[in-house]
Amino acid sequence: MSDAAIRVDGARKVYSLPGKPKRTAVSDVSITVEAGTIHGLLGPNGAGKTTTLKMLLGLVRPTAGTFEVLGADSTKPSGRRRLGFLPEQPYFPIHLTARQAMRFYAALAGVDAATAAEQTTSLLARVGLADAERTELSKFSRGMLQRLGIAQALLGTPAVVILDEPASGLDPVGQRDVRNIMLELRAEGVTVLLSSHQLSEVEAVCDRVTILNRGTVAAEGDINQLLNVDGRTSVRATGMDVLPPGVASVSDDLVVSGSTWIFSVPTEATRTVVDAIDEAGGTIVAITPKRESLEDYFAALLASGSEEVAS
C-alpha cells in the first residue's frame, strides 16, 4: 500500500454556543487518500463534508481527531506548505486584475516573484483565462472566477490539491476542462481530494470515494468495487435480429441501440449466453461486470441510512 497523502482519523466537531444546545457537525470521520490518486468526498447537504475539509485545512478547530497532509499536521501552517485549496465559494478582491490577483496569492504562498510571473501566465492559460489576464475581476463572470480559483489553487506546484465543488458555476465545456485538469494532475503525480455534488464528475475521474452522511462515513472504497453489481454481468452484442430464446429468458435491463444489444445476465450464465449468441450468428462486443451508476448507488445508500435512523 502506498503512503497516504492525506489522512484524517477520528475527526469530530461539536459546536457549542452560550444559551444554545450543542450541535454535532461531524461525529466520527476517517479518510485516507493515497498519493497520486483522485479521491471523491460525497454526501448530502449537512453531511459534514465542508466542516471536515475546514478542520483538515486548519480553518476550523476540531473537537477531536488527527489531520495530516504528507505526514505533517495540517492544522498547523507548516503542514500545509505543499497544499493547494479551492474553497466552495471563492471570493477575490474585485479591484485587481486576474494577473494581479494571482501574483498576490503567490506572494501569500511564499512563491518568489520570478516563479509567480511564470506560473501566473501558464496557469491562467491552463484554465482558459489567457485572454483575461489583464481584466479586472469585477468584470469576471461566476464561471471565470471559478476558473481563477482553480488557477490559484495550483500556484506553487502543490503536491496535494483540495477542490471543493470546482465545477460550480461552469458550463459543460468548463466542467469538461476541470475534469481534464484533475486527470492531468493525477498523471503528474499530484494527489486530488475532490468534494462535489456532481456525481457524474466524481464517477468520471475518481479512483476511490468516501461518502458521508449525518457526520459519519456511510461508505468508502474503490469506486469500481462499490458500483459493480454482485452476480451480474453486462453483455454487448451485435449481428442478431432477435435474442436467442435461451438468452432472452435470463437477460435483464435490455437496451437495443441500432444493431447493438445491451443487457445483463447472471454471472454464472455468462458462458451459456456467449455460446448461444455465437450459435445464432451474433458477435460479442464486450463482457464486463454490471455496474450501477454512482447516482443510483448514492441514492440507495442514503435511503437505507434514513430507514435505519427511522427504525
> Over the stretch 89-100, which tens digit does the pLDDT of each residue have?
888 999 999 999
User: Measured between alpha carbons, how far is 222 from 235 in angstroms, rounded to an integer?
Assistant: 23
DSSP 136: B
CB within 8 A of 20, min separation 6: which ones? none
Q: How is residue 290 written as a grid cell?
A: 454490471
Separate counts of helices (H) and strands (E) for the chain: 10, 14
Do the Cβ atoms of 228 and 267 come closer than 8 Å? Answer: no
The rounded mean pLDDT for the chain is 90
Q: How is residue 112 written as a grid cell?
A: 518568489
User: Measured between alpha carbons, how far is 32 from 27 in angstroms, rounded to an integer?
Assistant: 17
* pLDDT of 70: 96
Compute the radius of gyration of the chain from its Cα atoms: 24
pTM: 0.82
Q: How is residue 28 written as a grid cell?
A: 466520527
Q: In CATH, which of 3.40.630.30, 3.30.70.100, 3.30.70.580, 3.20.20.70 is domain 229-294?
A: 3.30.70.100
The yes-or-no verdict on residue 249 having pLDDT over 90 is: no
Cα angle 215, 58, 222 (rounded to 5 degrees) comes to: 50
pLDDT for 42-62, tens place per residue?
A: 998 889 999 999 999 999 999
* pLDDT of 56: 97
The yes-or-no verdict on residue 274 having pLDDT over 70 is: yes
- Domain boundaries of the chain, sorted by first residue: 4-225, 229-294
The yes-or-no verdict on residue 309 having pLDDT over 50 is: no
User: Measured between alpha carbons, how far is 216 from 11 in angstroms, rounded to an integer?
Assistant: 9
Closest CA to 85 of 223, 193, 216: 193
* pLDDT of 198: 83
User: Measured between alpha carbons, how far is 40 from 174 in angstroms, rounded to an integer?
Assistant: 19
Q: Would you state the CATH architecture of domain 4-225?
A: 3-Layer(aba) Sandwich (3.40)
Beta bridge partners of 40: 194, 209
